[in-house]
Chain A
Amino acid sequence: MKVKEYYEEHQRALLGLSSFIFLAAAWELLLTYVVPLNPFFFTKPSLIAIAFKEQALGGNLWHNLAISSRAFIWGFSFSVVIGIPLGAVMGWRRRVEYALDPFLTALYASPLVAIAPLLIVVFGVGLLGKAVLVFLLAVFPFIFNTFAGVKSADPLLINVVRSFGGKERDLYLKVILPSTLPYIAAGTRLAIGRGLVGIIVGEFYAASEGIGFAISQAGDTYRLPEMFVGIIVLSLVAVLLTEVMRKLEITLAPWRAGEEIR
């Protein structure tokens, strides 16, 4: 009975985990017993695990992770600091919206990854070039989501605060800011994904260190287990950041607990 209760309580996590285990087991068994393993073109979980252990203990994994993280944190921080105020001003001031919207929409819609080589030429292969790329990719969700959040502020609630004697400052603090928060949170999750793409693309083009460089180098030299170590670390980081965001959202916006946040 104990087991059943435990299962029912953690059903979601257990079932989610089991699909991973099943996939890994199927992969392992397939390449061990069915398909002959050609290490140039295939690899399997057990080899990846060994490579992971080597990389983590003696290799460059932590160093590469630190290098990539630094560029990510710089670019991402700037996209928050610039994107949110810019989106807010666009939402409040119609003229700013009209002036900037076409330009920003064009940039947002075009595949910015295409100008990565240009950015690398201008800003170099080091921290700066990658941070600029992360910034350019991550800033748009902040701009557009903050903008949409400000626009979404309910006119009824604005009138409520005004009717109780609220001044312009009160409208911003008591209505507009809180209605924008969920939008910013959703934008942050988008921005995390785009920022990680920025890092990897930057390091693919030209770099001598970082997770993206490690993946690309391992691929070029047919060291598939090492390549997968990079990919898996990257997805773990993405999942971790997104999970942290979700927790943060629930803490900051408990009134949305009734709605499904995904």
Chain B
Amino acid sequence: MTTCIQAKNVGLTFRPKNREPVTALNDFSLEVGQGEFVSIVGPSGCGKSTFLNILLGLIKPDTGLMQLNGARITGPGQDRAMVFQEFGLLPWRTVLANVELGLELKGVEFSIRRHRATELINMAGLAGFENHYPHELSGGMKQRVGLARALATDPEVLLMDEPFAALDAQTRDLMQAELLQVWDRTKKTVIFVTHSIEEAAYLSDRVVIMSARPGRIKQIIKVQLPRPRDYEMRLSPEFNDLKSRIWDVLKEELIDKK
């Protein structure tokens, strides 16, 4: 498998005024292969989101190297796209205009981007809602728009920051299944940050478990479950075994820090 993302000894410390500095990431090294689905779990404040934001190019690390296909990441780029936890839809834009955002910023011609956005809206099961505003949609539909928007620019890497955390349990299950289908079809590299062990185990090729303060990698667990995975698989003993392995590693972190 060719390497897609490479983080080498990445470190970042926030130094807010009048407060103690916080080390968000320390000596963080990770390699992710092309088309791989990697989840990151860890206690709150362990730097999961910071890692995504560095990958996205919104913040720069103090130390270390973050590379995409062998080139250093210096800023945002169309080869990466993020799906945000709170959806991040522009409330003054219709579904269609929201999905078009990335293409518009890329300078893609109107007719082409409209065509492309419509395609993705249909794929996301949002046909008929093109001219609705975000406030008229349910949480699940909003995140479908978020996913369609991220896929519109056809990025190589899909970054997902607890994308389903704000959804109810059933919608969440549904969206996870849909995401697996999309991933299977598009072969994107996915970095998926979550709090849910079950979600991480169900979706991923590998699960990265982080420790809190300073945020570093504690252990990486490879998921051996066959694909395609379905809901029934979640009831199997192997799946539960995997969940308890992840939990055992994570548990110490949660209990230690309390």
Query: Across the interface, do B101 and A163 meet the contact criterion of CB distance under 8 Å?
Result: no
Min Cβ gap A101→B in Å is 20
In the complex the two chains form, is B58's CB within 8 Å of A165's CB? Answer: no
The answer to whether B90 touches A157 (Cβ under 8 A) is yes
Dominant secondary structure of chain B at its interface with chain A: loop
B72 at the binding interface (Cβ < 8 Å): no
A253–B92 CB distance below 8 A:
yes
Known contacts A157-B90, A253-B92: A163-B135 contact under CB 8 Å: no
Could you tell me if B153 and A255 are in contact, using CB atoms closer than 8 angstroms? no
Q: Name which residue of chain B comes closest to A160, CB basis.
A: B88
Known: A163-B58, A165-B102, A255-B133. A157 touches B88 (CB 8 A): yes
- The smallest beta-carbon distance between A219 and chain B, in angstroms, is 48
When distances are taken between beta carbons in the complex, the residues of chain A under 8 Å from B78 are 164-165
Structural contact, B84 and A160, CB atoms closer than 8 A: yes
Complex CA–CA separation, A110 to B81 (angstroms): 50
Residue from B77, B80, B105 within 8 A of A161 (CB atoms): B105
Residue of B with least CB distance to A156: B88
Identify which of B81, B90, B91, B92 contacts A163 (C-beta below 8 A).
B81
Contacts of B130 in A (CB 8 A): none
**Chain A hits for B27, CB < 8 A:** none
Taking a contact as CB atoms under 8 Å apart, the answer to whether A156 and B77 are in contact is no
A-B contact count (CB 8 A): 59
Judging by beta carbons under 8 Å apart, are A156 and B84 in contact? yes
CA distance A255 to B134 in the complex (A): 8
A102 contacts the other chain (CB 8 A)? no
A165 and B76: CB pair below 8 A?
A: yes
Does B154 make an interface contact (CB < 8 A)?
A: no
Contact residues in B for A253 (Cβ distance below 8 Å): 92
With a cutoff of 8 Å between Cβ atoms, the chain A residues found around residue B80 in the complex are: 163
Cβ-neighbour of A174 out of B84, B90, B106, B134 (below 8 A) = B90
Distance A258 CA – B132 CA, assembled complex (angstroms): 11
Chain B 116-136 per-residue mask, 1 if CB under 8 angstroms from chain A, else 0:
000000000000000001111
Of residues 94 to 112 in A, which have CB atoms within 8 Å of B's CB atoms?
none
Is the beta-carbon distance between B133 and A254 smaller than 8 angstroms?
yes
B56 partner residues in chain A, CB cutoff 8 A: 163
Pick from A159, A170, A174: contact of B58, CB below 8 A.
A159
Rounded to whole Å, the gap between the CB of B102 and the closest CB of chain A is 4
Residues of chain A within 8 A of B101, CB atoms compared: 160-161, 164, 174
A165: which B residues are within 8 A, CB to CB? 76-78, 102, 105-106
Query: Are A162's CB and B58's CB within 8 A?
Result: yes
Contact A258 B136 (CB under 8 A): yes
Partner of B153, one of A159, A164, A175, A179: A164
B interface residues, Cβ below 8 angstroms from A: 56-58, 76-78, 80-82, 84, 86, 88, 90-93, 101-102, 105-106, 133-136, 153
Interchain residue pairs with CB less than 8 A apart (12): A156-B86, A156-B88, A160-B82, A161-B101, A161-B105, A163-B58, A164-B81, A170-B105, A181-B92, A255-B92, A255-B133, A258-B136
